[in-house]
Amino acid sequence: MVIDDVAKCDAFFVNKQNAMNLFQELYGKYSKTSVNFPVVENNPLYLKHNPNTVIDNIYAIFGFLTAYKNNNYEDFQIQIEKESINITSNIINENNINISFQNAKKQILDSESFSVEQTKEILAKISVMKSILNESKTKKEKWERLSPILEWLKPQGVLVVCKLIPIISDILK
């Protein structure tokens, strides 16, 4: 397909005929399939009144096709495995959530605002929240498990709420 289109461009450069048809064909084939498709003017009214722009677009697309042909077509987005992208995203999210738990624990331990008993109680709630996160349950079931923690949070104060609400949000995502 690409080799044939490069040949069509070569033929166009010799005879300079049917520029708009060639541009529309190439634009239609490649503009949505490649990450690095060149930015070209594609407004039909503008192109109708500026034929040199159509020719410039063909030169740009020709260069793009030649580069892909010479680069073994590596940059085409024809077959994207979405699962592998999601797996990567999940790993990053999981790491971010673990960092959130670690940061919350560290900040609670470093804070001088809490008594030893309060610190133990807050850390226990964080542990419960981490176990809820790791359960393979629905959002509704996780919400039901988090409800008592939310009730407990009400009288705790701004500092505790600010540390735990982001974690609760991560659990419910």
Q: Which residue has the tokens 């580069």?
A: 67
Q: Is 76 within a domain?
A: no
Same domain membership, residue 53 and residue 105? no
Mean pLDDT for the stretch of residues 21-44: 79
Q: Is 110 within a domain?
A: yes
Please give the pLDDT value at position 170: 75
More confident residue, 157 or 33: 157
Same domain membership, residue 122 and residue 94? yes
Same domain membership, residue 92 and residue 58? no
Q: What is the pLDDT of residues 78-123, one digit of tens each?
A: 444 444 444 444 444 454 555 577 777 888 788 777 788 888 988 8
Same domain membership, residue 93 and residue 34? no
Same domain membership, residue 96 and residue 47? no
Q: What is the pLDDT of residues 36-78, one digit of tens each?
A: 777 787 777 777 787 788 888 888 888 888 877 776 656 554 4
Same domain membership, residue 98 and residue 47? no
Q: Which domain holds residue 44?
A: 2-70
